[in-house]
Amino acid sequence: MASRRFSEQALSDWMKGVGPDSEIVISSRVRIARNLRHFPFPMLATNQQSLEVMNQLTAIAQSGKLDPVGRFETIILSELSELERRVLVEKHLISPNLANESRGGAVILSENESVSIMINEEDHLRIQCLYPGFQVKEAWTLANQIDDIFEEEANYAFDEKRGYLTTCPTNVGTGIRASVMMHLPALVLTQQINRILSAVTQVGLAVRGMYGEGSEALGNLFQISNQITLGQTESEIIDNLHGVAHQIIEHEKAARQRLMSESRLRIEDRVRRSYGILSYAAVMDSKESAQRLSDVRLGVDLGLLEHVTSQSLNELIVMTQPGFLQQTFNEKMSADQRDYRRAELIRNQLRGQTEHGGA
């Protein structure tokens, strides 16, 4: 039985670290998609075949082969409640697709939750590595190391011409999705964001919200990732994302300097108003909380608020999601009840009165 450690704290241990350019880049992620040669892809597999895939891949993890990269725990999704699955999604440890999968779904989590190996999601195997700040190259190095371990033990579906075969044609080739989660409030406030993101899409990268494809960019959080997996080497994919992300970081820094030099009083007023509303509001929906937390985070990064930490704000981003709210208060809630509890939790956290792991 899983320890349920993942549901006891909002921030994974890796998120408590501070990475390069962490005032702008929240996290870096690399995900590798793989399938086993002698089994149908998950969408066509029978229950028995899905269980065989799960048993084969979890056996590799439990054999000690992964020991060189850390300690791991295998979690069988059928043993979790719907709420616990939702918490895993909100912490970015599994995808919404896997949360809804009942046939042989599992996740192999590293102790600090920086590595999440999903089994029987859209593909048989999805290796995900997460790092704080701007460390996409480091995330790729670790993901590649884990991929090599599995490839030594499992027979991957591979074609000499097309590369690694995947359920979705857009992943064929390297099977790599690399991304950075960026907080870009200054580019939004200076109305440069549309021009920047348009340029990003023209060089083969995708822009999504906090929870990936189909999600809205709430709280000025944007996920920038590669779209092309075929026809480029792994290094070319990583280098392209790294180069573009570095340019976006520089644009955001310049926009922040411009705001401070040209509109300091207005920015300080915006930051303090949002802090005041978060500190005293009785009801707060998820969209408003995301925007207000973004304002406060910008204020912290610009030195306009000294008694709030970026880590406590990162924690609130996760804790105010619907699943984690219900997990924290141990009760099933309507939308109105969640809005009330969300406001209560934020008030307590900002006032330093919470006992739910606040910074």
How far apart CA 205 and CA 224 sit, in angstroms, is 7
pLDDT, position 349: 87
pLDDT digits (tens, 9 = 90+) for 289-345: 999 999 999 999 999 998 888 888 888 888 888 888 887 788 888 999 999 999 999
Fold of 5-255: Creatine Kinase; Chain A, domain 2 (3.30.590)
pLDDT digits (tens, 9 = 90+) for 155-204: 999 998 899 999 988 888 999 999 999 999 999 999 999 999 999 988 88
How far apart CA 284 and CA 6 sit, in angstroms, is 25
Give binding residues for ATP as ranges: 27-31, 92, 126, 177-181, 208-213
Q: Decide if pLDDT at 241 tops 90.
A: yes
Q: Domain locations in the chain?
A: 5-255, 264-350
Q: Decide if pLDDT at 206 tops 50.
A: yes
Higher pLDDT, 267 or 217: 267
pLDDT digits (tens, 9 = 90+) for 32-43: 999 999 999 999
Q: Decide if pLDDT at 10 tops 70.
A: no
Q: What is the DSSP letter of 305?
A: -
List, in order, residues 6 or more apart from 30 with CB less than 8 Å away: 128, 129, 136, 139, 140, 142, 143, 176, 177, 178, 179, 238
Give binding residues as ranges: 27-31, 92, 126, 177-181, 208-213
Higher pLDDT, 356 or 61: 61
Whole-prediction pTM: 0.87
Q: Assign 354 a pLDDT band (cuts: 50, 70, 90).
A: very low
Closest CA to 172 of 43, 33, 41, 38: 33
